[in-house]
Amino acid sequence: MSMSAGTADGDVMVEMNMTPLIDVMLVLLILFIITLPIQTHAVKLDMPAPTKNQPLFKPVVVNLGVDFDGTITWNGQPIDRSTLEAYFTQVAAKGDTQDEIHLNPNRLAKYDIVAKVLADAQRLGVKKIGFTGLDQYRQ
């Protein structure tokens, strides 16, 4: 059993195998496509200049908690939703000098209760509210 390297006419077949060349070119093209956006990617932001003036007053900080059983606390004192709405109304009435509300939901608190507290705050006009205690969610 022998292999013939010729054609039917008896000529020697002299063709280059293009498959490895095409494979190498495709790999190089893919590498070029992948690395090109990384080199030219840039996000240009015009950030505001920092102010040298310190705030005139320190805002009052209110610690609002939501416990795992649905208990809502205002500076450590348990309150119900109607009292919470009254407190939110008082805070919203202060306008630009609103108290800062630090919301600290327990890790096991139901999302529904936390969402209702946030919805009440938004509905009543509280603007300075943020989450604290997020380190309890890290593992």
Give pLDDT tens digits for 7-20: 667 777 778 888 89
Q: Give the number of C-alpha atoms closer than 13 A to the C-alpha of residue 133, restricted to the C-beta side.
A: 15
Model confidence at 55, pLDDT cuts 50, 70, 90, reads confident
State pTM to two decimals: 0.58
Tell which wins on pLDDT, 56 or 117.
117
Sheet with 61-66: strands ordered across: 77-79, 72-74, 61-66, 100-105, 129-131
Nearest to 80 by CA among 110, 119, 113, 109: 113
Provide the β-strand partners of residue 61.
100
Domains recognised in the chain with CATH numbers: 61-137 (3.30.420.270)
Looking at the predicted structure, is the pLDDT value of residue 139 above 90? Answer: no
For 102, phi then psi, to 5°, come to -100, 105
pLDDT given at position 1: 45
